[in-house]
Amino acid sequence: MERPDVDGLNSGYAALLLEQYLDNPSSVPSEWRDLFESRPEALLQSQPGLAKLLGQIRDDGNGQAVVVARPAAPEAPADAELLGAVAASMALVKAFRMHGHLAARLDPLGSEPPGDPALEPERLVPKLTPELQARVPASLLRLYVEGETLADALPRLRETYTGTIAYEIEHISDHEERVWLRQAIESGRYRRPLADEQRVRLLARLSQVEGMEHYLRRAFLGQKQFSVEGLDVMIPMLDEAIEIAAANGAHEVVIGMAHRGRLNVLAHVVGRPYETVLREFEGERTIGAVVTSDEAGTGDVKYHLGAQGTYSTGAGEITVTLVSNPSHLEAVDPVVEGRARAEQTDRSTGGGFSDPSVALPVLIHGDASFAGQGTVAETLNLEALPGYSTGGTLHLIANNQVGFTTDPESGRSTRYSSDLAKGFDIPIVHVNADDPEAALAAIRLAMAYRRKFGHDVVVDLVGYRRHGHNEQDEAAYTQPLLAAAIAEHPTVREQFAARLVREGTLTQEQADELATDVQTELRHAHEALKETFGLAPSSLSSESRLPAGTGADVVTAVPADRLRALNEQLLRLPDGLAPHPKLMRQLERRRDTLEQGGIDWGQAEALAFASLLVDGIPIRLTGQDSERGTFSHRHAVLHDLHTGATFTPLQHLDESAAAFEIFNSPLSEYACLGFEYGYSAAAPEALVLWEAQFGDFVNGAQIVIDQFIAAGLSKWRETSRLTLLLPHGYEGNGPEHSSARLERFLQLAAQENIRIANCTTAAQYFHLLRRQALDATARPLVAMTPKGLLRLKQAGSSLDDLAQAEFRPLLDDPDADRDRVERLVLCQGKVYYDIAGHEQRGAAGQVAVARLEQLYPFPVAQAKALLSSYPNLRELVWVQEEPQNMGAWRAIRHRLEEAKPDHVPLLYVGRPWRASPSEGYPTAHLREQDRIVRAAPGA
Ligand SMILES: Cc1ncc(C[n+]2csc(CCOP(=O)(O)OP(=O)(O)O)c2C)c(N)n1
């Protein structure tokens, strides 16, 4: 007999065997029994954590070891058959936990579940006959359902795992979570039956949900409403989630969802009056019904509009926010997360502090879009990251088993729509939408899990779509069998009402009354609305403007002494912290540059941030490798060379009055930018910056740019001061490390919806950042940021530049001899230094080179003034590095035409029309760059 090696023992394994021993001493190998009984001290010495368990083994006074304070050990299986039966029973229990969902009755339309042989006791070896089941003690199986033997427990196990709720939790890697979930599921803690009055309330809610959809369909025949019917219980599920969130201390629930059921959520969950919803419908056919406002925005279709309301719960009032979203399915997911995170964050000090109990994010997904859209995975990946976690999101898949006209077999490679979530260790609860009580139980379990573990949880609500994709569609064209089955299928309200009547909870008349009450209420609201038609002027006047501000009156200069003090504090380290000496030497140089000139980008940025923090403006900066900076220029977070400990000087300023949040982001653009948009929209006082690794990659987030950042103001009157830092510039690094696609942003710019800048000096960047944070009118800023210029001496600035100047949208040529100048070169960004520093430039006294630093809003007055300040001008040349179909040329050409005198021609110098932004070969780049730079000053 080999003795277990006490010193080299795996403590988890020892604990497992010890537990097993305490349940049944004869169930562990004899050498282990011997260790527990004869040598407990030796074990205790190496594994002190086992003291409590070992304490349960006593000497009975006759030298025999006995287990105390434990329920009597179940009778040891007497024969081999029983031993085999216990093993098979364990396998059966495991199968129910892992594969029970395959046999669950999840489809309200009654399709047969696939089942699994492992769930059938008769197919196990040995066959688990009823007799054998009755001999297997349930206590050996570590079950949480009731029952003395497997025979007692099996029906409960079946009911638990293969009824109208099913669970997928066994993929979760954390043991504690798995055990907690098993216990919660099998104990039925969250499935207790509802009291009669709760059932009546539930029926009343289902009546409202159905009644509203019916009314809208009848009153506005053929108008899109994206009815929720078939998933009606989604509304009571949201009620339940909000109620629990409020009881747990939340003050806000932030919901993101697509079209399906949105009008119902707006009316019944967010609390928009029926009149408002009806007005949106009337607006489609009666211009007089359109809501008045002073905006000139385009507005949006009714099933994209966001809203905020107050919801009354047993624990008091709670804010419910439904976030505006575009048609682009799932695009709103990260936006909701960012909003929730902003609500959860105390931005008053240090690095900010986030309390997930404050706000609950809820994401309602379509079954086709959850499986199909990549942003879902990107957003799930944010779940547990320190800079992004919201303490768990409640995901609800509104699973109507079809995506427009596409069946699941064509829409995903996985069995369930929810399968992606398994890879993120997320528990999944599937529930049949025709069992409203089960659906509420699913929410209770999900919310308890979120509260306990702070992770995401998915509830896959399996229902159907009673009508076509929208009210203009005929479902039977493409899903004829499904449509026929649905036509025959009673609604969930009808089924639930029939049940309550059958059980004597209420009478048929009372149930009918609940349904007619809703119709009456809607009719009255509609009549009242019609009375108001024509009273309000139309909002569609193109004259009225969205509120705007130029930021010109913002003071961005900071007194020199204050900058000196902040600069010192940024170089102050805690005792014992030793960052890399080479880095420290670089940073220490910032003392000299402050006094002698040469303040570079990194220093200017740090000083801008520091000056804002002491003025109480919170800052959040994220992006790939942003803590250091892709180009090793920022170093906002310092790392100790020996311990790896980190220190962020901007979080330790003497008079700091706001938090500086900084996080390296995961390798995502779409979700990360969406998150920051949501955060910035909910935190208008904060300067929120998102940095691309190279500007080229920003188009991975194009949907966020087009649909939220650029158009949010016009569609939803939603804006923010979100700032995009996009490295841009032609330095020979190929087609994907050159261009942040300036042209795309310029194309999207209108009605002063965004600001676009490209600074050529560190001081300009300093003032731009401060203006962006301090301007009373919040607008997103797209800043093209440099790479080579980050340390270019000529682009450096002096203390005076920060302490006395301001952001200037247009920079004149500092050396121009005005009367001599005949050719004005206007450019933007890095190419300025290529032109200004070129040998040919020195000789060309008749040429002036000016820089456009703010591309949008275009500085009309300044441009006019600049041009008229050169009395002998004969040519205006726009020079750019980008191809002619890219860069700024096509967006600002008309502005330059307007600004120049008629007799002065406008010329173009730059790369020709190109399908790809730049050359792949560095030598080809150099040749092209040289051609442009030589052509700029002219012959
Ligand atoms: C990103 C994106 N691609 C395509 C569409 C067009 N579209 C609108 S609804 C829909 C089907 C959505 O199916 P599902 O997610 O299951 O939601 P359901 O409409 O069934 O509720 C599609 C493809 C879209 N809105 N967004």
DSSP characters over 322-377: EPP--SSTTTHHHHHHHHHHHHHEE-SSTT-EE-TTSEEEEEEEEHHHHHH-HHHH
Residue 659 and residue 648: Cα distance in Å, rounded? 11
Q: Which atom of ligand 1 is nearest to the CA of 373?
A: 1
Token digits of residue 799: 């203390």
CA 426 to ligand 1 center in whole angstroms? 24
Q: Which atom of ligand 1 is nearest to the CA of 369?
A: 15
| pLDDT for res 10 | 60
Cross-strand bridge partners of residue 216: none
CB-CB contact of 227 with 464 (8 Å): no
Residue 324 and residue 270: Cα distance in Å, rounded? 13
Residue (of 935, 939, 816, 817) closest to 884 by Cα position? 935
CA 404 to ligand 1 center in whole angstroms? 6
Residue (of 552, 545, 605, 549) closest to 779 by Cα position? 549
Q: Which atom of ligand 1 is nearest to the CA of 366?
A: 15
| pLDDT for res 718 | 94
Residue 686 and residue 341: Cα distance in Å, rounded? 13
564 Cβ below 6 A of ligand 1: no
| pLDDT for res 13 | 64
Token digits of residue 902: 């008629």
CA nearest ligand 1 atom 9, residue? 404
Please calculate the CA angle 694-695-696 and round it to the nearest 5 degrees.
90
Residue 753 and residue 31: Cα distance in Å, rounded? 76
Token digits of residue 638: 């310092």
Residues 6+ apart with CB under 8 A from 437: 191, 193, 194, 199, 202
Residue 348 and residue 657: Cα distance in Å, rounded? 6
CB-CB contact of 237 with 444 (8 Å): no
CB-CB contact of 560 with 781 (8 Å): no
Q: Which atom of ligand 1 is nearest to the CA of 260?
A: 21
Residue 776 and residue 49: Cα distance in Å, rounded? 60
Residue (of 303, 301, 316) closest to 261 by Cα position? 303
Residue keyed to tokens 């401060």: 770
A 10 A CB-CB count for 363 gives: 27
Token digits of residue 89: 């029973």
Residue keyed to tokens 């005198």: 901
| C-alpha 814 chain-centroid distance | 46
CA nearest ligand 1 atom 2, residue? 328
Residue (of 712, 782, 679, 631) closest to 328 by Cα position? 712
pLDDT along the chain (939 residues), means of 10: 62 70 80 80 72 74 70 58 93 98 98 97 94 95 95 97 98 98 97 96 98 96 94 98 98 97 96 93 68 62 92 97 97 98 97 97 98 98 98 98 96 98 98 98 98 98 96 93 97 98 98 97 95 63 51 89 98 96 96 97 98 98 97 97 97 97 98 98 98 97 98 95 97 94 98 97 98 97 96 96 97 94 96 87 82 97 96 97 98 96 97 96 94 88
367 Cβ below 6 A of ligand 1: yes
CB-CB contact of 698 with 692 (8 Å): yes
Side-chain-side CA neighbours of residue 157 (13 Å): 27
Q: Tell me the longest C-alpha to C-alpha distance in the chain.
A: 117
| pLDDT for res 541 | 44
652 Cβ below 6 A of ligand 1: no
327 Cβ below 6 A of ligand 1: yes
Residue keyed to tokens 């780049």: 925
CA 228 to ligand 1 center in whole angstroms? 14
Residue 833 and residue 854: Cα distance in Å, rounded? 17
| pLDDT for res 534 | 72
CA nearest ligand 1 atom 10, residue? 404
- DSSP readout, 117-155? GGG-GGGSSS---HHHHHHSBGGGGT--S--SBHHHHHH
Cross-strand bridge partners of residue 572: none
Q: Which atom of ligand 1 is nearest to the CA of 404?
A: 11
- DSSP readout, 725-753? EEE---SSS-TTSS---HHHHHHH--TT-
CB-CB contact of 879 with 938 (8 Å): no
Residue keyed to tokens 């206590």: 139
DSSP type of residue 868? H
Most ligand 1 atoms within 8 A of CB, residue of 257, 328, 332, 369 to mutate: 369
404 Cβ below 6 A of ligand 1: yes
366 Cβ below 6 A of ligand 1: yes
Q: Would you say the pTM of this structure is higher than 0.85?
A: yes
260 Cβ below 6 A of ligand 1: yes
Residue 475 and residue 468: Cα distance in Å, rounded? 4
| pLDDT for res 787 | 93
Cross-strand bridge partners of residue 795: none
A 10 A CB-CB count for 672 gives: 30
Compute, in degrees rounded to 10, the torsion defined by CA atoms 448, 451, 457, 459: 30
* Beta strands at 57-59 and 65-67: parallel, antiparallel or unpaired: antiparallel
Residue 158 and residue 863: Cα distance in Å, rounded? 77
872 Cβ below 6 A of ligand 1: no
CB-CB contact of 22 with 58 (8 Å): no
Written in H, E and C, the secondary structure of 265-279 is: HHHHHHCCCHHHHHH
CA 383 to ligand 1 center in whole angstroms? 24
